Amino acid sequence: MSTGSVVGGLTLRWTGACAELTTVDRRALFERTAAIDSAVGERTASIVARVRRDGDDALRALAHELDGVDLDALEVPRARWLSALDALPSALRTALERSAKNIGHVHRAFRPIAQETESEPGIVVGRRPDPLGRVGVYAPGGRAAYPSSVLMGVVPARVAGVGEIVLCSPPSRESGAPSDVVLAAAALAGADRVFALGGAGAIAAMAYGTASVPRVDRIVGPGNAYVAEAKLQVSNVVAIDSPAGPSELLVICDDSVDPTLVAREMLAQAEHDPLSAVVAVTTSARAAQAIVDALTAQLPMQARAEICREALEGQGAVLFAESLEACVAFANDYAAEHLLLAVAPLDDVLGRLRNAGTVFVGPSASVAFGDYMTGANHVLPTGGLARSYSGLSTLDFVRWTTYQRVSVEAAARLSDDVGVFADAERLPAHASAARAWRVGATR
């Protein structure tokens, strides 16, 4: 095991055999979501409290302080979105429309359905998915625009039948509004209202409501550390999607894979953020070395080479395991946001993978395709939380109503056993309510 080794001018945090990871190395590799920086937590709490107390006034002040923008109005008029959509370059509009169409198709196919079952004759229990009344979608902004995040949040909410969809995205200094491509995506996806708000302030506004921003029932969408922390801090008053951090990729591959492909996929995710985690685990030391060589060759050609380099130095690894079974075990423990599977036979291994935000099956299933165009959602759990959270879906935009029907005959059959239960728990009124339905009882 080599830690922090320099290979051909490229520094990777970990290289070598999985079996040789020390306890310290393994903890650093697997527990990649460190505790929130106390300064971030305190600053976020201050912003949340400020918005909760001062409402729109706080939001305008935060826009001035953090975004360098003086907002005349917090809400962006619909006419401005439509103008942005009309002005969109035709190739980009075609790509956005294709993406939205595929997202809608996939999420309609996986909509939850109402179900009933009869536990005993005369006892019917049902569950019905009811769309949420209002949801808030956050789309990152600032240094870059992310129309894909708009589509990934708004389209599934629309498919689920949500009553009102509110979008918040940071204003640019030039226009005082979210970027034109974000506004165009909002119009195309079917948002109802758009606000030029970013960061923890936007999350607090949607959680608690202000004079301008309505309170929502759930907040979804990715963001920076302050957005992620704000979502956690308001989760006692509003539902959120899975906590999310920097982008992650785990590639599981064997000797058959092209190492340049693996390097290309790793660099594509590394360019997101210096804190991105990119890992490849293969079945031989020879294949691992070939991937390192490919990374070394490709890194200098990247437009965002320094960001990629920081990610590789901070949380990058190319490892090898003694068998494909060991690779699968590693993947299930690592619980990556994105998992690219490039082994044979694919379907056999796919069936054994349990913990991943989404699995890309086969070398031609580039993660970039899932980020933008396949129709699967790219809002996914990170930091190992794929052990218990799933990616964003229509399930996030409904709540379940459970109902029960009990016939008079079934009530009579239940009465004695329920009465015995209630007696054991010393709840005599419960027992009386049940026994009132005994055959011949006076009600």
pLDDT in tens, 298-333: 999 999 999 999 999 999 999 999 999 999 999 999
- The answer on pLDDT for 358 being more than 90 is yes
pLDDT tens per residue, range 47-70:
999 999 999 999 999 999 999 999
Exposed / middle / buried, residue 126 (Cβ in 10 Å: 0-12, 13-18, 19+): middle
**Which residues are tagged catalytic?**
337-338
Q: Which two tokens stand for residue 292?
A: 């390192």
176-232 tens-digit pLDDT: 899 999 999 999 999 999 999 999 999 999 999 999 999 999 999 998 889 999 999
The token duo for 83 is 């103008």
* CA–CA distance, 233 with 237 (Å, rounded to integer): 9
pLDDT of residue 7: 47
Give the pLDDT score at 345. Answer: 80
pLDDT band at 124 (very low <50, low <70, confident <90, very high): very high
Residue 8 has pLDDT above 70, yes or no: no
Phi first, then psi: what are they for 89, rounded to 5°? -55, 140
In order of their start, the domains of the chain are: 2-31+245-390 (3.40.50.1980), 38-112+131-240 (3.40.50.1980), 407-435 (no CATH)
Q: What is the largest CA-CA distance in the chain?
A: 88
The mean of the pLDDT values for the chain is: 94
Greater confidence (145 vs 163) lies with 163
Beta-carbon count within 10 A of 87 CB: 11
If we measure between CA atoms, which residue out of 112, 102, 100 comes closest to residue 149?
A: 100
Q: In whole angstroms, what separates CA 252 from the centre of its chain? A: 22
Instruction: Indicate the pTM of the whole model.
Output: 0.93
Answer whether residue 252 shows pLDDT above 70. Answer: yes
Residue 417, Cβ neighbours under 10 Å: how many? Answer: 10
Q: Is the pLDDT of residue 397 over 80?
A: yes
Please provide the size of the chain in residues: 443
CA gap 308, 315 in Å, rounded: 11
Contacts 24+ apart (CB under 8 A), 119-124: 120/410, 120/413, 121/409, 121/410, 122/406, 122/407, 122/409, 122/410, 122/411, 122/413, 123/404, 123/405, 123/406, 123/407, 123/410, 123/414, 124/404, 124/405, 124/406
pLDDT value at 84 more than 70: yes
Q: Which residues, in sequence order, are bridge partners of residue 15?
A: 2, 318
| 3-class secondary structure, 274 | coil
Residue 36 clears pLDDT 60, i.e. is over it: no
| Predicted pLDDT at 4 | 57
pLDDT of 435 above 80: yes
